[in-house]
Amino acid sequence: MKPVLTLMPKVAAMAIALGLLAGNALAAGVVEVPPRNTWSFSGPFGTFDNAQLQRGFKVYREVCASCHSMSKLAFRNLAQPGGPEFSEAQVKTLAASYQVKDGPNDAGEMFERPGRAADRIPSPFPNKQAAAAANGGAIPPDLSVIAKARTYERGFPWFVFDIFTQFQEQGVDYSAALLQGYVEPEHGIEVPPGKYYNKYFPAKIISMPKPLSDGQVEYVKGADGKPQAPETVDQYAKDVSAFLMWAAEPHMEQRKETGFRVLAFLLVFAGLLYFTKKKIWSRVEGHAHGPAF
């Protein structure tokens, strides 16, 4: 086995080579890295912005819900602490505005009824075949955990930091960029009929048409009569992406709080062990250096 010291220069050389390759790829335009955003939930002390989550849900409901399902999200989740925190009355009213398939009844038939808070948000399509038929053969993905399922590579050396952050912000950065990535195709790229060019989509050609435009969703107005946030594509993309991040990890704030409690316990426990060890071994050392018989 070779000594570790002799391997270190080779490892450093490989790291530098990987960094150069990543830089060359970016320079050549092969990979379009989504811009980094500042999120309220970033870092170990970050929390979700309830107002932003409410706006994000509004964007999802008015724009995304016509094609994309959120099968893992129940209406009652929208009222839980750390989320959008709608009131129970708002959740009940929202749920009742949907028709949910239920049954069978006494006659053995399925029927539809107004939604309840405990129901999951209904899918816009009854099955995958219907979804594909309505979208030119492409099946819109479920958005329940899309913020954790999608990511991108930032190259060397940033991937080292991404490992420790568990890609917490990469998925939400990607979704925010994707919603704003509809541009004219690069020279030489042909876009098939019914497809669209998106510079942040890995394959560049995407089946989803541009979903957002300025002024498309009307936000709640404040006391001054102005919207609480800009009604722009950039703001819509960030708001709905933050909402999708919460949907993918609704207990993030509790997880962070639990993590700090565990760390505090471990620090206190380690201190007690240290002083206990010091107390016990001080007696042993005292006997070892005592008078010899």
Each residue's pLDDT tens digit, 70-88: 999 999 999 999 999 999 9
Q: Is residue 130 part of a domain?
A: yes
* Predicted confidence (pLDDT) at residue 15 exceeds the cutoff of 50: no
Answer whether residue 175 is part of any domain.
Answer: yes
How many domains, the chain?
Answer: 1
Mean pLDDT of the chain: 84
Q: What is the 3-state secondary structure (H, E, C) of the chain?
A: CCCHHHHHHHHHHHHHHHHHHHHHHHHCCCCCCCCCCCCCCCCCCCCCCHHHHHHHHHHHHHHHCCCCCCCCCEHHHHHCCCCCCCCHHHHHHHHHCCEEEECCCCCCCCEEEECCCCCECCCCCCCHHHHHHHCCCCCCCCCCCHHHHCCCCCCCCHHHHHHHHCCCCHHHHHHHHHCCCECCCCCCCCCCCCCEEECCCCCCEECCCCCCCCCCCCCCECCCCCECCCCCHHHHHHHHHHHHHHHHCCCHHHHHHHHHHHHHHHHHHHHHHHHHHHHHHHHHHHHHCCCCC
What average pLDDT does this structure show over 53-79? 96
The verdict on residue 284 lying in a domain is no
Residue 189 pLDDT > 80: yes
Q: Quick one: pLDDT band at residue 13, thresholds 50, 70, 90?
A: very low
> Is the residue at 270 inside a domain?
no
Residue 69 resides in a domain:
yes
CATH code for the domain of 177: 1.10.760.10
Query: In the prediction, which pLDDT does 278 show?
Result: 85
Q: What pLDDT is attached to residue 166?
A: 46
Each residue of 251-273: pLDDT tens digit? Answer: 888 888 888 788 889 999 899 88
User: Rounded to whole angstroms, how far apart are CA atoms 237 and 241?
Assistant: 6
Stretch 100-127: mean pLDDT, rounded? 92
Is 191 contained in some domain? yes
Does the residue 278 lie in any domain? no
Domain residues for 230? 9-73+121-261
Q: How far is CA 19 from the centre of its chain?
A: 27
Going by pLDDT thresholds of 50, 70 and 90, the confidence category of residue 291 is low
Q: Does the residue 24 lie in any domain? A: yes
- pLDDT for res 17: 43
